[in-house]
Structure 1
Amino acid sequence: MKEFECYHGTSHENFLKIKSNGFIVKPRDDHWLGNGIYFFLDDIDKGRWWSRNNPYTRNNPTVIKIILKVFNENFLNLDVERDQSILDCFADEFRESLQELRVSIPGMNEHAWHCMVIDAFVKENPEYKAIARTFYTDRPVGASGFCGVGRQLCIHDKSLLSLNDLQEIRVKKTRRKRKRRSTS
């Protein structure tokens, strides 16, 4: 069993709705780990950043924290060779079936392809309830020489989430720097 410390950036109002009614998945065709509920792993600062910078949540930012437990057989870790190979084999077969059906998807970007493949994979393999992957951020390379990374977990099965275990962490809004007026 894997245990994850998860952070979801949102607004205080959304937190109250989620606490009462659960998470709502808003399908899009470009979610990079498929359609589901996204969390940053082990990094509250990325949850804070999301809640402050998302136009729908930045007026009253908050972070939801939850400790999630996922059985190994329900978890696809796209940071390890074995699980990448599982998804790659499926993607090869999926692409072939699209070609046999003469389905053309010109101009599809990388995230849209990931979303399509993972959504189809989870539909065909419902035992996979959560998928994780590390991503690069736009944080500049620092003096250490390391580029910025983050890790996300996408929950494809809401039964993994206990609403009673959700904790709210309020986020202070960032203040905009005021320009000094010239006194000349």
Structure 2
Amino acid sequence: MGNQKFVGYHGTFQNVVDNILDEGFKPQKRINHWLGQGTYFYTEKKLAQWFITRNSKTDREKKKINSPIAIIKAIIEEEDSKVLNLDTTEGVDLFFQCIDDHSETFEKIEFTKNDHINRCIILDILTRLCGFNVIIKTFEASDHQPSYAKVNTSFFDRKIIPLNVHYKETQIRVSDQECIKSTEVEHAIEYKRPKRLYFDDKNQFLG
């Protein structure tokens, strides 16, 4: 039995950085977390910066925070048995095997039509019953031209050349922060929306 090591990036604000470094993260609970309750990291610094920049302008509570954004880089190391990697075939097999093993528990739950809420409920239960602490999953952007992107990939597939290549975001959820071995601040530069790449329906690059 070995350990797995990951590097994650968490977007926050400079006014709480010292508190996070001294006392750890204090995640907010939500019923529709992507991977259950816990602290979230992106595997790409750019995405962590994009997420906190967007939230600082759109989230009602975060709009009240008068502080520059900051990025915290974390080294995460956990035992193999406590990592559920939903990007691997073994991880998906394990996920559904655990659901089957605890089917009596899940039969008592009234699920919704919202995949975020259902997945959050299940992963919170599996965290408790199966001991999963670190959960990893890559999500394909539901918007094929998210605000961090240069290309509308859906339009490209429809009008130029069908390629089925879309933007993806890998997230790491940590429940018990004991697995976070180190944290350091990477001060972010001002986030700027990327220059778009545009194509017409005659396969011509427009600039």
TM range (shorter): 0.7 to 0.9
How far off is 1:37 after superposition? 0.7
How far off is 1:25 after superposition? 2.2
How far off is 1:96 after superposition? 4.7
Q: 1:160 aligns with which of 167, 179, 184?
A: 179
Match of 2:139 in 1: 135
Q: Secondary structure at the match of 1:153?
A: strand
Match of 2:49 in 1: 48
- Aligned-partner Cα distance in 2 for 1:4–1:86: 20
- Aligned-partner Cα distance in 2 for 1:58–1:91: 44
Q: Which runs of 4+ in 1 moved over 6 A?
A: none
- Paired-residue identity, %: 22
Aligned residues: 169
Match of 2:110 in 1: 104
TM-score by length of 2: 0.72
Task: Rate the CA distance shift 1:175–1:37 in 2: closer, same or farther, 3 A.
Answer: closer
- Aligned-partner Cα distance in 2 for 1:174–1:37: 22
Match of 2:149 in 1: none
Note the residue ranges of structure 1 that are not aligned, 5 or more in a row.
177-184
How far off is 1:74 after superposition? 1.9
- Aligned-partner Cα distance in 2 for 1:26–1:15: 16
Match of 1:76 in 2: 84
Q: Which amino acid aligns with 1:70?
A: E
Q: Which amino acid aligns with 2:125?
A: A
CA deviation map 1:120-174 (0-9, x unaligned) = 0010012x22010111123332699421011111011111124xx2111112234
CA RMSD of aligned residues (A): 2.4
